[in-house]
Structure 1
Amino acid sequence: MRKAYINACKIVKSIMLTFMLGVSGAYAQGPAAVYLDDTKPINERVEDALQRMTLKEKIAFIHAQSKFSSPGVARLGIPENWTTDGPHGIRPEVLWDEWSQAGWTNDSCTAFPALTCLAATWNKDMSLLYGKSLGEEARYRNKNILLGPGINIYRSPLNGRNFEYMGEDPFLSSKMVVPYIKGVQQNGVATCVKHFALNNQETNRHGVNVVVDDRALYEIYLPAFKAAVQEGDTWSIMGSYNLYKGQHCCHNQYLLNDILRKEWGFKGVVVSDWGGVHDTRQAIFNGLDLEFGSWTNGLTEGKSSAYDAYYLADPYLKLIKSGEVGTKELDEKVRRVLRLSFLTTMNRNRPTGSFATEEHALAARKIAQEGIVLLKNKGNVLPINLSKTKTIAVIGENAIKMMTVGGGSSSLKAKYEISPLEGIRNRVGNEATVIYARGYVGDTTGNYNGVATGQNLAEKRSSAELLAEAIELAKKADVVIFFGGLNKSDKQDAEGYDRESLGLPYNQDQLLTELAKVNKNLVMVNISGNAVAMPWVNQVPAIVQGWFLGSEAGNALASVLVGDVNPSGKLTFTFPVKLTDNGAHAAGEFPGKDEVHYKEGIFVGYRWADKHKIKPLFAFGHGLSYTTFQYGKVTADRKSMSASDKITFSVNVKNTGSREGEEVVQLYISDLKSSLPRPVKELKGFEKVSLKPGEQKTVTFTIDKTALSFFDDAKHEWVAEPGDFEALIGASSADVRTKASFKLN
């Protein structure tokens, strides 16, 4: 108890000190304190603060002092830096140097939908709303570095951490990450975009060396990070655990110095992933600025000065004092961290933020509603017509299981979470009877890092009894809604582990097959952040991709299922029929062992399916609506363009159905002849348009030569070759409605 009390006191003291220093700068010493004058340019303030710091203060400034904080300089009134997970909500407070909970009663946050759902909105306005809301919550809790968003590419459907990312396409990820960053950072909170780079699996994530050609690196795996730096102006980036070119990515010469800083001009802070640092000299010279960790290099129970043993702590100081290394690199690191401080904790004009508000709950619900994807709707089973429906059977553990707890570092202590069953009952009220059967038993636990759901999911009945009960309820119902899929347990959608197969766990396939036999009005809602196999796809008339939707999950799903909201989400990754329809698995290169070779190269996701003429289960960009849309013929404002020109494509889209809806109009570009192999087509534009019944609007896309370019690894430059191209416009990568030819001179 005494240890927990001391830890809690440390946290309170630290936060109070940070607040006092950030507001008053009362401890500043010396004449003409330029660094405290926020009318001066940041570069001047940085240099002034830097020259006032001692060597020991500089060393302390670039490594952790606790699980989630690094020191400031109290003598100079420079506050500490406080980080927080994560990309979907602000995690609860933990003890000073333990993962155990601090026991606060006012740190229960709004849980926002996972980033797979955000990306599935294909709506940049939703991304800005998400970032703004999350930034307000981080700011209220006095965090100045948000450890997110995650933008690693969806290479395999077995990656356990895909649910935290934005899909398989670099263009979509690039466009969706920028507003998120701007929304967060307008609150004086830095985004820490992660994980840079090539972190596409969890198996052996600390030791696997990724072997990938430069074309795939630059065309597939780097564009979203480049956009985060050059368009989003993210103030920090997190290195990844894996190795590339034999060096760990948290101190990787090629990624951090050559690409991030020299090619892209990144001015911000490179933060290590927790425990991602392995060598002091590499950390000094290869681009790392701020080291965090857990049980790293001497951080063990009972050692009071464990953080001083970090690679960028005493070992660095000893090298400087011995004359083996100079202080040039140290000063550069301190400059960058100081700059981040002046943008965040030392910014007197930072808004105060807000936390777990009704406004944030409504934002979370809106994003969830827009991201839900209607995959199939044979016979118009959806939306459920409550005037003709007396009984709704809800079946499946995922209808009741809380999903905000678990999954790794994105696990949350949410203020509340509306389950799908609760959401349906709330919405239906007395209009219909809602009955429930569990159907299957999956994960009965509900605890992660001391945050407990409080649910008792223990089950004594056998699988046969559960199946029989579900079938009997399905026979009595007018409509059956099955909530299944994955959860955030190990080896499903969770950090630290990859999935073991594409199939659904817990014998759900059999259950769905049996339910389809007894009720033709069956809806399967797949709760997951990953594609799953669907051997029953032809027997189940309606399928919805439900994601992990956060606090408002049940309300958002209910609103779509009964038709209060017309679904408008689109898939951000390909659902393959079988694993070998995916390029990484066709090549036998997932997850690899000590090395993993990206033999599929640039042909990731729909690019692989197009190249090999593989029909997916559901295509990238696919998503249905309760209304229908008609595309006119695309027109171009010119037939040819030079390298300095732009070309604009226009297409009329009409709502030909009976209700208002939103359609995501997608532009793909096809290079008809190239000196190097290229994908059949690549996404280069998208717009979400809202249309009332009978209404039509003109959607325009303007591109320049960058949309036509590929990366020539022999020349190490982007090349747009003259020749013939096609602009393909459609509703998904597999549903092209109209196209136009043009030429690059």
Structure 2
Amino acid sequence: MLAAVACGGAPQRSGDVALYLDESQPLEKRVADALARMTLEEKVALLHAQSKFSSAGVPRLGIPEVWCTDGPHGIRPEVLWDEWDQAGWTNDSCTAFPALTCLAATWNPEMSALYGRSIGEEARYRGKDVLLGPGVNIYRTPLNGRNFEYMGEDPYLSSRMVVPYVQGVQQNGVAACVKHFAVNNQEVQRHKVDVVLDDRALNEIYLPAFRAAVQQGGAWAIMGAYNKYKGEHCCHNRYLLNDILKRNWGFDGVVISDWGGVHDTREAIFNGLDMEFGTWTDGLNWGATNAYDNYYLARPYLELLRKGEVGTEELDDKASRVLRLIFRTSMNSRKPFGSLCSPEHNAAARRIAGEGMVLLRNEGGVLPVDLSKVKTIAVVGENAVKMMTVGGGSSSLKVKHECTPLEGIRAAVGDRAGVIYERGYVGDVTGDYNGVVTGQDLSEKRSARALIDDAVAAARRADAVIFIGGLNKSDHQDSEGADRLQLGLPYGQDEVIEALAAANSNLAVVLVSGNAVAMPWVERVPAVLQAWYSGSEAGNALADVVFGAVNPSGKLPFTFPARLEDCGAHAAGEYPGDGERVVYRDGIFVGYRWAEKENIKPLFAFGHGLSYTTFAYGGVESDRTSLTASGKLRVRVDVTNTGSREGAEAVQLYIGDEESSLPRPVKELKGFEKVRLAPGETRTVTFDITPDMLGYYDDAKGAWVVEPGEFTAYVGAASDDIRGRVVFTLK
């Protein structure tokens, strides 16, 4: 063991041993030992930033700094110590992984584990201790500009997918910081809007993924949200942080503020915040230089302590949590070395992207494009050439390379066919964010009419047409800080698609976005593919699917509504609130729950996704007709690949309560399993149903309630594609 450094601070006894340096000692003993050696000033210094992305350690004791990095799709490039401008490094490029909407669309926890492990390796290699991600805020409205960073509308799907991500990151000795806790579901007035919702919706819809990340994933950090809840900012919210997160869930990690999310010293002291970052800056361009000693948890806190106006109980708890984080990360000598921009990471990004793409429509087998039967392919659309890893807010990246869709298509086609490109429309010609510049020249001299005419002429000459459009990461698209202004496609894309459909019936529309969009042309377009923001390997992954090297198996993690008014958040006209408050009148009825309650047919339902093969479901059976309070009921179904090629199907289990005392959704997702089948192969998929899966939160009682009565288990390929059901009774 090493002796403690005795150059100041608390006096050391002769022969005193620094237990905190001994990794063989229990974690809590190390934390207590280090805390006992620290001065008041050293404890406070642990709690606030010393630069844009780091906090101080305790140099006297050999305790290092904590370095954070934005995620959740890749490791952010380095910025200057006290500025948001780029540091100008040449070795801080990263692999961009697909957006989390794409990951959620895989419906495959194995892909989440691969994602977390891979991005954790990149963070570790870059010397980061905390990865600011993943995000698991619920997709409540398709206008939320930050939906692309989250895992969809369903709390069960998000819970299943977040846990392997967290575990994968943290096996590298890097903390996953799950965000944004909580009810951060819009960017409009995000710094001040007070979210009003009942405790039932909070517990059933908006908290389960966070709880899973903490209690199942063992997350070491949680980031507070900008917005208010119950009148208090979420970064220092007594109910969310003290009562729920730390007391009820037993969270032993750190609560980190979002950058600029702290507003009051006393609330920060007593209401659960542990580490403060970004105060006096909007995250972009204003604030005091080197203001870190003036942070709410810096000198103002220290002065209150010295005056005796506040005690040290909260201080010791906060400092202990930060020390625990440091011992798990920066002082963990057993963590792996990590790797950056490796072939394995590129392969992982490509695999996840391909598995997450969702085939929404495919009439007449337009996809995959058969290169033995086409001589010319027309590719149309700005998103075929525009880089998508730059922009969108804090998840903007500096990549070593980004394969665009057009590049991926041309590489896959080779000399087997001709590929002609037409832009079709002009969206955003810029290509820079926070000092990272794509270097693309997207200037355009042709008029909108000329662009369409040229695209139509190309379509008429081609055997197959692939339109690649959607959204981008500009303001009011898919971007932090601003919500979308409409459900429809921007930049006149609908007119381009209509013209292409009239010119060539062999048309596939590929949508690059992290949100649902309106499709007034959908009945005139035979094939629609949701391709998401797919990261460094976007083009190669898209080509894999378009030409059939990968059989699509993604399923939608959120509902595509036909109209904005079909969403619960918009039906009552309360989104985005009055600037001060927003009331969640839809309650627990979010996404498919609202659509089924109101008997609304969506454009594409939650869980929907097609394949190049077909799957047949046998009869759904259960091993019993009743379930006891301590028992288990098993539901099984045979699934057969009835097509001519291998494919994967995400089999989904929903449960509906037929006799509830309180209103409940028609059905709720309670299980899924992805099975890969060869042609003609059959596998039996089983789901175990236990009583804890059947409960609801009674906000009048402040508790989860499981009522006896009749339930229905639904098994299907999507929320609107149920292939069989069984009825059972809970006794």
| Range into which the TM-score falls when normalised by the shorter chain | over 0.9
The whole-number CA distance in structure 2 between the counterparts of 1:273 and 1:143 is 17
Give deviations 1:432-483, integer Å, cap 9, x for gaps: 1000000000000001000000101111111111111101000000000000
Aligned to 1:378: 363
Aligned to 1:249: 234
The whole-number CA distance in structure 2 between the counterparts of 1:697 and 1:445 is 50
Aligned to 2:638: 652
Aligned to 2:588: 602
Report the AA paired with residue 492 of structure 1. Answer: Q
- Contact 1:299–1:306, Cα closer than 8 Å, also in 2: no
1:229 is matched with which residue: 204, 209, 214? 214
Greater mean deviation of Cα atoms: 53-62 or 161-170: 53-62
Aligned-pair distance for 1:587? 1.1
Greater mean deviation of Cα atoms: 347-356 or 300-309: 300-309
Distance 1:27 1:113, change over 3 A: farther
Give deviations 1:385-443, integer Å, cap 9, x for gaps: 10000000000000000000000000000110000000000000011100000000000
The whole-number CA distance in structure 2 between the counterparts of 1:333 and 1:302 is 26
2:421 is matched with which residue: 433, 436, 439? 436
Aligned to 1:638: 624
Aligned to 1:698: 684
Report the AA paired with residue 584 of structure 1. Answer: A
- Contact 1:405–1:447, Cα closer than 8 Å, also in 2: yes
Matching of residue 126 in structure 1 with residue 102 in structure 2: no
SS of residue paired to 2:726: strand
SS of residue paired to 2:156: helix
2:487 is matched with which residue: 490, 496, 502? 502
Aligned to 2:243: 258
Give deviations 1:344-390, integer Å, cap 9, x for gaps: 11111011111110000000000000000000000100110100000
Matching of residue 406 in structure 1 with residue 391 in structure 2: yes
Matching of residue 710 in structure 1 with residue 696 in structure 2: yes
5+ residue gaps, structure 2? none
Matching of residue 744 in structure 1 with residue 730 in structure 2: yes
Aligned to 1:287: 272
The whole-number CA distance in structure 2 between the counterparts of 1:690 and 1:25 is 56
2:40 is matched with which residue: 40, 55, 58? 55
Report the AA paired with residue 594 of structure 2. Answer: W
Aligned to 2:340: 355
2:350 is matched with which residue: 365, 369, 376? 365
Aligned to 1:675: 661
- Contact 2:559–2:591, Cα closer than 8 Å, also in 1: yes
SS of residue paired to 1:238: strand
Give deviations 1:120-177, integer Å, cap 9, x for gaps: 0000000000000000000000101000000000000000000000000000000000
Report the AA paired with residue 580 of structure 1. Answer: E
- Contact 1:299–1:309, Cα closer than 8 Å, also in 2: no
1:100 is matched with which residue: 70, 76, 85? 85
Report the AA paired with residue 280 of structure 1. Answer: T
2:306 is matched with which residue: 313, 321, 333? 321
Aligned to 2:536: 551
Aligned to 1:4: none
1:556-571 equivalent positions in 2, closer than 5 A: 556-571=541-556
Give deviations 1:482-540, integer Å, cap 9, x for gaps: 00000000000000000000000000001100110010001000000000000000011
Matching of residue 662 in structure 1 with residue 648 in structure 2: yes
- Contact 2:84–2:284, Cα closer than 8 Å, also in 1: no
Aligned to 1:689: 675
- Contact 1:373–1:567, Cα closer than 8 Å, also in 2: yes
- Contact 1:407–1:493, Cα closer than 8 Å, also in 2: yes
Aligned to 1:151: 136
Aligned-pair distance for 1:643? 1.3
1:418 is matched with which residue: 391, 403, 408? 403
Matching of residue 189 in structure 1 with residue 157 in structure 2: no
- Contact 1:27–1:74, Cα closer than 8 Å, also in 2: no
Report the AA paired with residue 504 of structure 1. Answer: L
Matching of residue 311 in structure 1 with residue 316 in structure 2: no
Give deviations 1:541-564, integer Å, cap 9, x for gaps: 000001000000000000100001
The whole-number CA distance in structure 1 between the counterparts of 2:293 and 2:281 is 11
Report the AA paired with residue 155 of structure 1. Answer: R
Say how many residue pairs are matched.
723
- Contact 2:369–2:546, Cα closer than 8 Å, also in 1: yes
SS of residue paired to 1:538: helix
The whole-number CA distance in structure 2 between the counterparts of 1:425 and 1:726 is 49
- Contact 1:503–1:533, Cα closer than 8 Å, also in 2: yes
TM-score normalised to structure 2 length: 0.98
- Contact 1:149–1:194, Cα closer than 8 Å, also in 2: yes
Matching of residue 268 in structure 1 with residue 236 in structure 2: no
TM-score normalised to structure 1 length: 0.96
Matching of residue 733 in structure 1 with residue 719 in structure 2: yes
Aligned to 1:517: 502
The whole-number CA distance in structure 1 between the counterparts of 2:436 and 2:150 is 23
Distance 1:589 1:303, change over 3 A: closer
SS of residue paired to 2:57: coil
The whole-number CA distance in structure 2 between the counterparts of 1:663 and 1:519 is 31
The whole-number CA distance in structure 2 between the counterparts of 1:551 and 1:701 is 36
2:203 is matched with which residue: 218, 227, 231? 218
Aligned-pair distance for 1:295? 2.9
Aligned-pair distance for 1:598? 0.3
Distance 1:44 1:73, change over 3 A: same
Identity of aligned residues (%): 69
